[in-house]
Structure 1
């Protein structure tokens, strides 16, 4: 898989810098175009203000325009700084819109293969209420979104340990392809299949008896599928391993991440964009909010229900 274009959201915050460093690393690794996208919007006049307030409104607009001009200058300086570090294929784009919609719009216009955004906070309450812009971008975007959380430097080896949530859907397999593409030389990619039999019973037979009759064959079948995927996607520079745990996906991924060190978690999100506007797939949303790593969300095609 070749990444031809990467877009990264820039708002000059510390979290934005984390996203930029990861985007720079990926652009360098894949020798690809990187666009620094800054979104700033002047709110339109929707209400006619009294004559007495016009001077105040004019001053307010002047200050906003001044800040936007300053941000454009800072964006240009940031591009020069990137070029001074050896990153030559860097461009900038300023979008007049709200941050979430503007970033998605820019990524679409650029036909970006990846959109990188930062998020505020990693622990405590902030970890439970992920930066709203990043969350809305993940929901709205048609394109894969990398929520950058770990401070991977542009000069670092890259993603050495990657976890991929695997439910064997076409979206999860696309997530695996992205994981292998983003993996650093010598990296390890772990596929994690979380499973749990439904709590149901057949009349006259205890649920446990029914479960025992299908659990073995089902585990054997999924093990064969998982090992086949791991074998097909392993390369001389990237080892892919398959694991399974008896747990609900959200719980299983969370506990696996807490117990082991990873640089990146990759998950697929099912459902069309209309539904994602209101609720991202529960596993993807929980992983993005609570994971202690950067998280890449790969969306299902609109036809993949």
Structure 2
């Protein structure tokens, strides 16, 4: 039975479906949730240095704050349901690698995740990232659409 469930979140509506399903499952199985949100580093390109419009430090701080908000929302929902929850935020260009690493580090039994997330500057991971998690995960992955 799955006792430790990893739930990646980017704050999207699809991500919220995975959160709800994971919390319900954890409550049913007397398990716990580990939630992760991966903040996107500043998309720095040496070729476009003269066209930088935003401060990279401020951008990354804002993305990390947003990631922390997303995991806190999961933690609050889990607490309301009486489910234990650990939170993790990290910053990486490859969220799929961070998700798989977290699954190993926290000894998760399953990953509940959305099929895709947001686009644009608020993108934290995409559908292709879900495919990469599926390809590289050593544990089952439940993909919600």
The TM-score bracket by the shorter chain reads 0.7 to 0.9
Query: What SS is found at the alignment partner of 2:143?
Result: strand
- C-alpha contact 2:64 2:89 (8 A) present in aligned 1: no
Q: Which stretches in structure 1 are left out of the alignment for 5+ residues?
A: 122-129, 150-305
SS in structure 1 opposite 2:7?
strand
1:160-200, Cα deviation, whole Å (9 max, x unpaired): xxxxxxxxxxxxxxxxxxxxxxxxxxxxxxxxxxxxxxxxx
| Contiguous gaps of at least 5 residues in structure 2 | 118-125
Structure 2 CA distance for partners of 1:11 and 1:103, relative to 1, 3 Å: same
Distance 1:119 1:25, change over 3 A: same
Larger Rg: 1
- Cα distance in 2 for partners of 1:64, 1:4 equals 33
Aligned length: 136
Say if 1:148 and 1:49 are closer, same or farther in 2 by CA, change over 3 A: closer
The RMSD of aligned alpha carbons is 2.7
In 2, distance between residues paired with 1:77 and 1:26? 17
**TM-score, normalised via structure 2 length:** 0.78
* Mapping of residues 36-55 of structure 1, within 5 Å: 36-43=35-42, 47=46, 53=50
Question: Are 1:100 and 2:96 counterparts?
Answer: yes
Are 2:84 and 1:89 aligned? yes
- How many Å separate the matches in 1 of 2:61 and 2:142? 30
Which residue of 2 is the match for residue 34 of structure 1?
A: 33
Please give the residue correspondences for 1:104-183 in structure 2 after superposition, counting only pairs within 5 Å. Answer: 104-120=100-116, 131-149=127-145
8 Å contact from structure 1 (residues 115, 145) kept in 2: yes
Q: Determine the C-alpha separation between the residues in 2 that align with 1:20 and 1:141.
A: 19
Aligned partners of 2:6 and 2:111 also within 8 Å? yes
Q: Larger RCO: Structure 1 or Structure 2 (Cα < 8 Å, ≥ 6 residues apart)? A: 2
Q: Give 1:49 deviation, angstroms.
A: 7.5
1:80 pairs with 2:99: no
* Cα distance in structure 2, aligned partners of 1:18 and 1:66: 24
Conserved 8 A contact 1:36-1:91:
yes
Q: TM-score with structure 1 length normalisation?
A: 0.40
The CA deviation at 1:64 is 3.0
| Alignment check: 8 A CA contact 1:95 1:106 kept | no
